[in-house]
A = this chain, B = another copy of it.
Amino acid sequence: MSQKLGKASMRPEHPVYILNSASVVGTKEGQGPLGLLFDKVGEEDMFGCETWEDAESTLQKDAVGLALNKAGINPEDISFILAGDLLGQSIATSFGISSYQIPLLGVYGACSTCGESLILGAMSIAGGFADKVVCVTSSHFASAEKEFRFPLEYGNQRPLSATWTVTGSGAFILSGESAAGKGKPRACITGMTVGKIVDYGLKDSMNMGACMAPAAASTLEAHFTDFGCQPDQYDKIITGDLGKVGQRVLIDLLRDKGYDISEQHMDCGIEIFDADSQDTHAGGSGCGCSAVTLSAYILKQLEENNWKKVLFMPTGALLSKTSFNEGKSVPGIAHGLVIEAL
């Protein structure tokens, strides 16, 4: 039986189990609405390191370690790790996970990387290429500001459309066997849709929600077509980090395509911070935003059967400081996964 579905979607023959997962976040995320749900909240955002990049590496290392520990699985039992982050040449990953000595496949999809790593991880399990894989992604507010925008010391003003990069890392252990880990799996992956680059020509790196929303709309439309489904078949349709501006754009764009997702839509970036009291403007963003929200909040709702089936779709803005400063646009991309309660 083919595992391919429609043009850009896949339905694994057997569900892929999320055996366990972990989330590690910084202080600001710990003070936010989801603060009590994270596995670990740092005491300070340097995590005992000397550079922001090392701090982000530590986030990944801790998230993977915690997830393995919670699942009762040793690093040597993992076939490979699919990992990525936002920094140039993915250095948070290279220096974060090397000590586990697990074979690595590095991935990059900007803030959609969590979705991409889970899609490729689920493919490796469902295709019979691996028994267990780890998917991990991270971002750090300070390393991201340094990488993409201005030095923090500059005290740059942020427009209201700007998002705040989440300091956090989420790690997930996937397997085709529901009894492979300690206890019961948290949920399972039953479908995937790979997104394409969508570029509306926007050039504002301080309004990434608007840059990414067209890609989210494109992937959602492809998903509904490929699976022959409607928005109301999901308890939640969850984007990664569109924030408040991008959410409005997405809902409007989809309405034009004949889909109303206003009832089901949720955005990890809107959930993770309290914009009023935390001064985070449009919401949270970054590779870590969707990853820690999936681990701490979304999987918990599925475990508690508050939700039965969600579409989890991290969104990414494909820019670098080089392309931005050379006057290029900020194209978007989004990858979707169907995640179901057991």
Contacts and interface: CB of A to CB of B under 8 A. Distances in A.
A194 B322 contact: no
Contact of A8 (B79, B108, B128, B328): B79
Contact of A128 (B2, B102, B104, B120): B2
A224 to B, nearest CB: 15
Taking residues whose C-beta sits less than 8 angstroms from the other chain, chain A's interface range is: 35 or more
A174 to B, nearest CB: 14
A89 B91 contact: no
Interface in A111-143: 116, 119-120, 123-124, 126-131
A91 B126 contact: no
A326 interface: yes
Chain B CB count within 10 A is highest, among A79, A94, A322, for A94
A8 B86 CA distance: 26
A122 to B, nearest CB: 9
A107 interface: yes
A95 B323 contact: yes
A123 B129 contact: yes
A197 B98 contact: yes
Contacts of A318: 89-91, 94
A299 B195 CA distance: 31
Chain B CB count within 10 A is highest, among A79, A124, A127, for A127
Given A3-B128, A105-B109, A127-B128, A87 B194 contact: no
A51 B84 CA distance: 27
A51 B323 CA distance: 10
Contact of A323 (B91, B109, B128, B195): B91
A33 interface: no
Interface in A281-329: 318-323, 326, 328
B127 A196 contact: no
A183 interface: no
A88 interface: yes
A95 B102 CA distance: 32
A53 B326 contact: yes
A97 B197 CA distance: 9
Given A3-B129, A89-B318, A127-B129, A195 B108 contact: no
Interface of A: 1-4, 7-8, 10, 51, 53-54, 79-80, 84, 86-91, 94-95, 97-98, 101-110, 116, 119-120, 123-124, 126-131, 147, 194-197, 199, 222, 318-323, 326, 328, 331, 333
